[in-house]
């Protein structure tokens, strides 16, 4: 039986063991999946021991995605673009591949909810690691443009510059978002975890078709409520589908089997 685990600190809240057990049951795969919580400065020692014990793969969450990026022997193009790794796979030759499935998980969920992203104009709120991990997958999905807005404008500008040549990516502070029409708004900040909202103009919602919060809760997040308040017609979603989607990409990398996402989203949603 192949063994896997998710690494994070804290990690007791992680839904990954549940999600992967549901995938395994659905696809008739025999796996074992647990949790690992090394101290913040002990990731390398913990992951080295983990693979030495015969484990096959790991998911990686906060605060270890940069550590995993540095640990991997080889990186996928999307991991290089994200400069972060959330999936490690020990291949048969003993080398460890680092991947980042977050962006693919997001794109799959957006397409599941709202169809093709081809030609869509997207606003990303925030310029942290979560944002960086989704830009290349969105451009690959043929969005027409991405605008990154961040409280500190210089950070948004730096992130946009990283993807110069990959597609149309612009940037600004929260105070000077262009008066453009955005089809989709994605909250990449963690503001909703505390019931807060980004300090950005409500005009961004005026003509948008959808608003997506990368965090998730049992009820509508504060960002979702805020979007709906300022555009009654806008469609909203939290990030639970992204969580399940990125896990499905990891599962596919490890097992070469692609699980169905929708029933797992429904099961996990019912348990929130």
Residue positions annotated with a catalytic role: 65
* Contacts for 255 with CB less than 8 Å, ≥ 6 apart: 27, 29, 31
Distances (CA, A) of 271 to 9, 15, 101, 225: 22, 10, 24, 21
Q: Which strands make up the sheet holding 145-150, listed edge to edge?
A: 169-173, 145-150, 121-125, 184-187, 210-213, 235-237
CB atoms under 10 Å from CB of 72, counted, come to 19
Enumerate the H helices of the chain as residue ranges.
Answer: 16-27, 43-52, 65-71, 77-82, 102-114, 129-140, 153-162, 222-230, 240-255, 262-271
Query: Is the CB of residue 121 less than 8 Å from the CB of residue 144?
Result: yes
Write out the two tokens for 87: 């999936």
| Sheet arrangement for strand 31-36 | 31-36, 2-7, 57-60, 87-90, 96-99, 74-75
Query: What is the DSSP pairing of strand 74-75 with strand 31-36?
Result: unpaired
Q: Pull the structure tokens for residue 236.
A: 């909203």
CA distance 38 to 50: 11
């Amino acid at each position: 039986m192949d063994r896997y685990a998710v690494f994070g600190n804290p990690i007791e809240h992680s839904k990954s063991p549940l999600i992967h057990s549901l995938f395994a049951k659905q696809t008739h795969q025999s796996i074992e999946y647990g949790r690992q919580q090394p101290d913040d400065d002990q990731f390398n020692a913990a992951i080295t021991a983990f693979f030495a014990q015969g484990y096959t793969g790991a998911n990686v969450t906060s605060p270890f995605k940069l550590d995993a990026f540095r640990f991997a022997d080889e990186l996928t193009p999307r991991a290089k673009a994200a400069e972060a790794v959330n999936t490690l796979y020990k291949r048969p030759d003993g080398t460890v591949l680092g991947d980042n499935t977050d962006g693919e998980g997001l794109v799959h969920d957006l397409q599941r909810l709202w169809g093709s992203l081809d030609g869509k104009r997207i606003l990303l709120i925030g310029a942290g690691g979560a944002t960086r991990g989704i830009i290349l997958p969105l451009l690959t999905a043929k969005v027409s443009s991405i605008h990154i807005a961040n409280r500190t404008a210089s950070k948004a500008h730096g992130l946009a510059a990283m993807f110069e040549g990959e597609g149309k990516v612009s940037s600004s502070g929260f105070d000077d978002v262009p008066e453009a029409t955005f089809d989709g708004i994605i909250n990449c900040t963690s503001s909703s975890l505390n019931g807060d909202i980004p300090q950005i103009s409500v005009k961004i919602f005026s003509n948008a078709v959808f608003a997506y919060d990368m965090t998730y809760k049992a009820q509508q997040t504060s960002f979702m409520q805020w979007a709906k308040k300022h555009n009654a017609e806008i469609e909203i979603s939290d990030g639970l589908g992204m969580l399940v989607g990125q896990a499905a990409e990891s599962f596919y990398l490890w097992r070469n089997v692609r699980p169905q996402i929708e029933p797992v989203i429904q099961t996990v949603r019912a348990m929130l």
